[in-house]
Amino acid sequence: MSAAAATAHQPHNLPLLATVETCSGGTYIVTGANTGLGFETAKQLVALGAAKVILGVRNVKAGETAKTKIEVATGRSDVAEAWALDLTSYDSVKAFAKKAVTELDRIDALIENAGVAAYQRVMAEGHVIDVTVNVLSTLLLGVLLLPKMSESAQRFRILPHIVVVTSHVCFDNETEWNKIKDDPLVKIDSEEVAVMEIYPLSKLLEIMAVRYLASLIPVSRTGVVVNLVSPGLCKTDLARNGAPAFREFLTSLLDQFGRTAVDGSRPLLHAAIAGKESHGCVLQHCEIDEDSVPSWISDEAGKKSQKVAWETIASELETIEPGCVKKVL
């Protein structure tokens, strides 16, 4: 089934599988938390009794506004905190990670929700911004926080999660992926890739790399679950930078089939408390959904592509922060 067809059949009114029992007393980081899915996820974590919820936001003023709204909605203060995190800047990612490692006693989940769909060739840190934000900075943050989370697992006898929010829209891009898979970072940056393909290809690269990384860091060694979650088509402003015709088309789809941000946050919350069996898997609709992953991603040829994707990214991460990848492997 194509992503478009799947959208027309996506269920609504998803269950809230995260509970007070699973979340109370925990410390959570949610990126892109001042609006949309990230905001609703953070708000629910506060409502479920989390001890601390860090809102990773590019605009701290907007983050403080979101914090106030969460406090009013939940009746709980001194739980949510807005921290600066600009995924277009590696220095910002490193500073955020250093602060988290230094100031937080534990990390129960890192929910990497922040993403960008630029629909134009904008550069950041030497790459198209979709790749910098959705792939490189996202994986950099996960790698930098993994040792702290592994320590949290042992010290507090918990099962921390790194949740990478992705999209099933990329599963329709096999032909485009085959054109770039041997050197994905260089080729996505090139003029040969149409601007409308950059976002889905960035999400493919993200999925390929995370799945391979998960195979290198089993839960049995790290104590940390790493999974991928697709929230489905949701009524957020992700496509605000798209061409007018595309925005009009997407608005029509959202009106017919789109989930609310509250409904779309439920898969993220599920991924943050899912069992060890979710490690390395794609989740959607509040369940593990490996059946939705195309064979060209999961078969032997796909696994080779995953390896190339991860090794290409790992090399870049080692350049950004020497030793960070070796430390987790």
**What residues act catalytically?**
199, 203
Q: Coil, helix or strand for 267?
A: helix
Q: Distance from CA of residue 139 to its chain's centroid?
A: 9
167 Cβ partners below 8 Å, 6+ apart? 200, 203, 230
Q: Among 48, 7, 10, 13, which Cα is nearest to 27's?
A: 48
Distance CA 276, CA 87 (A): 28
Distance CA 140, CA 235 (A): 28
Distance CA 143, CA 48 (A): 27
At 241, which helix (H) or strand (E)?
A: none
234 Cβ partners below 8 Å, 6+ apart? 36, 37, 258, 259, 260, 261, 263, 264
